[in-house]
């Protein structure tokens, strides 16, 4: 069985529960991360209708300070929500404050209603991906300390400094599955690639496209770590399993669901097609039953990849 590492979502929203339940469940997730060397990830959204939700970077910084020594990442920041130079500065600060344990996840952004609600423009996909490319260039430049200057079609910085320069710089993870444009940006700039809720065959196809883009620009495809954000529902009680998840315009998406043996098999399919780090979204949150069963009967059956 191919080796794979795991991370856990630390949730800024109670997702149908209460805020105290959210805090208790997150405390258990953080303890599990410490006990089992799991990375910790926070989604970047501002609203899900009337559901309570906390801002990603404030939430992450608070919990990183409460739980030192863990690796933290954003899954993924919408690039249009923050000026890219500011994003670079925040990431460099978090890299310093966490002792080099921060992963900047960045994407083009795909939640149109949220952009409009908060007053952000939501240009067509082609333009958002061009912005993502420029943002990645600015972030990389600023992480060298500066002075950094860049003048693009969408963003501009002039003699910008980022001191202390992060040493080493954070890992840059770019999320998205668009095969013509997004994966070309991933090939050009990313240390890690993230895609969410694809079936293994679809993920494998997109990974193949990403590797083709890498070869086309003369980059070693193995220089990019393939990662996958996946919903997981694990229980011995069929009545507790969540077999389907619906995500906006995408409709029903792939999840891994079943008893421990089925979940092991489902994860192994992703490891076999190249996933080396899987960020887990336990779908019974704020319950922790699925987490406990995963830790006891799924996690021990995998060799770790060292990512």
Residue 101 has pLDDT above 90, yes or no: yes
Residue 273 binned pLDDT confidence (cut-offs 50, 70, 90): very high
In a domain, 177, yes or no: yes
Tokens of 134: 């420029």
Q: Is the pLDDT of residue 79 over 80?
A: yes
Q: Read off the pLDDT of each residue in 181-188 and give the average, rounded to a whole number.
A: 98
CATH of the domain at 206: 3.20.20.30
Within-domain flag for 306: no
User: How large is the average pLDDT for residues 91-98?
Assistant: 98
Contact of 145 with 161, CB cutoff 8 Å: yes
Question: What's the mean pLDDT in 267-286?
Answer: 98
131 within some domain: yes
Task: Tell me, yes or no, if the pTM score tops 0.85.
Answer: yes
Question: What count of other Cβ atoms lies within 10 Å of the Cβ of residue 292?
Answer: 14
pLDDT band at 81 (very low <50, low <70, confident <90, very high): very high
d(CA 56, CA 286): 18
Is the residue at 307 inside a domain?
no
Is residue 53 in some structural domain? yes
Task: Give the pLDDT score at 144.
Answer: 98
Mean pLDDT of 106-123: 96
When pLDDT is cut at 50, 70 and 90, the band that residue 249 belongs to is confident
At 89, list the tokens.
């500065």
DSSP, residue by residue, 242-284: ---EE-GGG-EE--EEESHHHHHHHHHHHHHHT--EEEEEETT
**How confident is the model over 197-220, as pLDDT tens digits?**
999 999 999 999 999 999 999 999
Looking at residue 272, its pLDDT comes to: 98
Q: How many domains would you assign to the chain?
A: 1
Q: Which domain holds residue 174?
A: 5-301
In a domain, 123, yes or no: yes
Q: Each residue of 30-54: pLDDT tens digit?
A: 999 999 999 999 999 999 999 999 9
């Amino acid at each position: 069985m191919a080796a794979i590492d795991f991370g856990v979502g630390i949730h800024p929203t109670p997702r149908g529960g209460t805020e105290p339940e959210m805090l208790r469940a997150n405390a258990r997730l953080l303890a599990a991360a410490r006990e089992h060397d799991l990375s910790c990830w926070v989604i970047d959204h501002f609203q899900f209708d009337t559901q309570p939700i906390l801002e990603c970077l404030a939430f992450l910084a608070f919990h990183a300070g409460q739980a030192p020594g863990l690796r933290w990442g954003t899954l993924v920041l919408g690039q249009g929500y923050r000026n890219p130079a500011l994003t670079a500065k925040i990431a460099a600060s978090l890299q310093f404050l966490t002792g080099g344990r921060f992963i900047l996840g960045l994407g083009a952004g795909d939640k149109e209603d949220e952009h409009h609600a908060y007053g952000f423009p939501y240009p067509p996909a082609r333009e958002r991906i061009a912005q993502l490319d420029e943002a990645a260039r600015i972030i990389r430049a600023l992480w060298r300390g500066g002075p950094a200057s860049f003048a693009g079609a969408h963003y501009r910085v002039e003699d910008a400094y980022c001191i202390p320069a992060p040493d080493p710089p954070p890992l840059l993870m770019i999320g998205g599955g668009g095969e013509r444009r997004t994966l070309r940006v991933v090939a050009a700039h990313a240390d890690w690639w993230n895609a969410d809720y694809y079936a293994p065959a679809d993920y494998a196809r997109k990974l193949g496209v990403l590797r083709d883009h890498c070869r086309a620009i003369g980059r070693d495809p193995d220089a990019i770590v393939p990662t996958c954000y996946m919903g997981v529902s694990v229980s011995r009680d069929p009545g507790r399993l969540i077999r389907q998840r619906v995500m906006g315009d995408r409709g029903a998406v792939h999840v891994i669901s079943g008893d421990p043996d089925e979940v092991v098999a489902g994860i192994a399919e992703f490891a076999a097609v190249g996933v080396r780090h899987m960020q887990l979204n336990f779908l019974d949150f704020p319950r922790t039953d699925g987490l406990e069963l995963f830790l006891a009967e799924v996690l021990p059956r995998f060799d770790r990849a060292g990512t």
